[in-house]
Amino acid sequence: MLSYIHKKNRKYGAIPGSLIHLGRQKTDKIKFSKIIYDEEHFDRDFPLSIENCFPPSEKPSNTWINIDGLHEIKVIDYIGNKLKIHPLLMEDILNTTHRPKWEEYADYIFIVLKLVEFKSELNEVRTDQVSIILGERMVFTFQEMERNTFEPIILRLQNSVGRIRKMGADYLVYSLMDLIIDSYFNTLEKIAEKIESLEEEIMSRPKEQTLKKIHKLKREMIYLRKSIWPVREIISKFQRSDSKLIKPATLVFSGDLYDHIIQIIETLDIFRDLLIGMHDTYLSTNSNRLNEIMKILTIISTIFIPLTFIVGVYGMNFHYMPELGWHYGYFITWGIMLILFIMMFLFFKRKKWW
């Protein structure tokens, strides 16, 4: 959980804008890949050294440089200097606990998003930060570790599927954002399956384990919300953007992203309501069961405690107890106990306890 807090204290009193990597080292070595493409060409360099990334590309092609791994500060620093990006932004890239954001500057747009993944077996949400810098005919993406997240887009670029090669770097950024938001749907679907299985569990035979799983999931949903909620604002900024880097042809697509993110947030809300509902169901089922248990105890006790008292009476050893000498005393006692038993039975019957 601690990872949700920006560990600023590792640099308490440090100069704002100084680069410190805040996050686990998720990859061994920073890896670079460079894709240069335009309507006619596609070229991919991988792996390559940092020096080969600059200058990004000769005009008029588009260049996409992807950086996997954030732990080598001097490498990140080098990129920041090359791109003339404000140190505070480079700090944000390194701080992997940063909240999603969209910031427009004169020469570039800076975007932070979260990839989310639901580990169904661990009942846990994992997030990876993706930072995107969109410049003139140029896209930089920063990931915490090497993943093949962007493979579908690389393939579309390579095979020139759809309009991706025909459009500019802004459309590439849109495609990346669309892909990330698509990953939210995957996550939601896995969570939905988990919720369904928990719901079944709680309806058939709830155990303490079930409850703990629900609580765990509720907690994970709190974290997930934090990663996804700000994306709505981001898409909204995208839609209203008047940066020259975003062309009108790309703006059209942002409405679609907005519809998706609204649907995701609504689904998150539904999930929360469902989890609250399940907790309530659990509690009321439990309360029901307690009543059932107590009914059994009460019925048994109420019937047999008085009877036990009666047989106790005739187990006393007083020298003079006239009933003991009666010939049918024993049978009369049985008769009385039977009548008592029937009365108790009718009492509980009338109370509709069974």
Q: Which 252-311 residues touch its own copies, going by CB under 8 A? A: 252-253, 255-256, 259-260, 262-263, 266-267, 270, 273-274, 277, 279-291, 293-298, 300-302, 304-309, 311
DSSP state of 230: H
84 with 106: CB under 8 angstroms? no
Token code pair at residue 342: 């029937």
Question: Measured from the CB of residue 257, what is the shortest distance to its own copies in angstroms?
Answer: 9
Exactly one of 40, 319, 350, 354 binds its own copies (CB under 8 A); that residue is: 319
Query: CA 109 to CA 89: how far, in whole Å?
Result: 11
Exactly one of 39, 43, 136, 193 binds its own copies (CB under 8 A); that residue is: 193
50 with 73: CB under 8 angstroms? no
| 49/209 with CB nearer its own copies | 209
Question: Measured from the CB of residue 95, what is the shortest distance to its own copies in angstroms?
Answer: 10
What values do phi and psi take at 215, rounded to 5?
-65, -40
What character string, x for contact with its own copies (CB under 8 A) and - otherwise, covers 327-346?
xxxx--x-------------
Question: Measured from the CB of residue 36, what is the shortest distance to its own copies in angstroms?
Answer: 21
Exactly one of 28, 136, 196, 200 binds its own copies (CB under 8 A); that residue is: 196
Q: Which 149-178 residues touch its own copies, going by CB under 8 A? A: 151-153, 155-156, 161-164, 175, 178
Give buried/exposed letters for 262-278 (b at 16+ CB in 10 A, else e).
eebbebbeebeebbeeb
Question: Measured from the CB of residue 105, what is the shortest distance to its own copies in angstroms?
Answer: 10
Query: CA 85 to CA 66: how far, in whole Å?
Result: 17
SS (H, E, C) 56-119: CCCCCCEEEEEEECCCCHHHHHHHHHHHCCCHHHHHHHHECCCCCEEEECCCCEEEEEEEEEEE
65 with 31: CB under 8 angstroms? no
Q: Which 93-112 residues touch its own copies, going by CB under 8 A? A: 97-99, 101, 103
Question: Measured from the CB of residue 50, what is the shortest distance to its own copies in angstroms?
Answer: 25
Q: Which 236-255 residues touch its own copies, going by CB under 8 A? A: 252-253, 255
Query: CA 224 to CA 100: how far, in whole Å?
Result: 12
| Size of the residue set binding its own copies (CB under 8 A) | 120
Question: Measured from the CB of residue 59, what is the shortest distance to its own copies in angstroms?
Answer: 27
Does residue 39 bind its own copies (CB under 8 A)?
no
| 50/219 with CB nearer its own copies | 219
| 44/295 with CB nearer its own copies | 295
SS (H, E, C) 276-317: HHHHHHHHHHHHHHHHHHHHHHHHHHHHHHHHHHHHHHCCCC
Question: Measured from the CB of residue 209, what is the shortest distance to its own copies in angstroms?
Answer: 10
Question: Measured from the CB of residue 295, what is the shortest distance to its own copies in angstroms?
Answer: 6
| 30/253 with CB nearer its own copies | 253
Does residue 83 bind its own copies (CB under 8 A)?
no
Does residue 320 bind its own copies (CB under 8 A)?
yes
The order of strands in the sheet holding 124-135 is 42-48, 31-37, 62-68, 138-143, 124-135, 109-119, 101-104
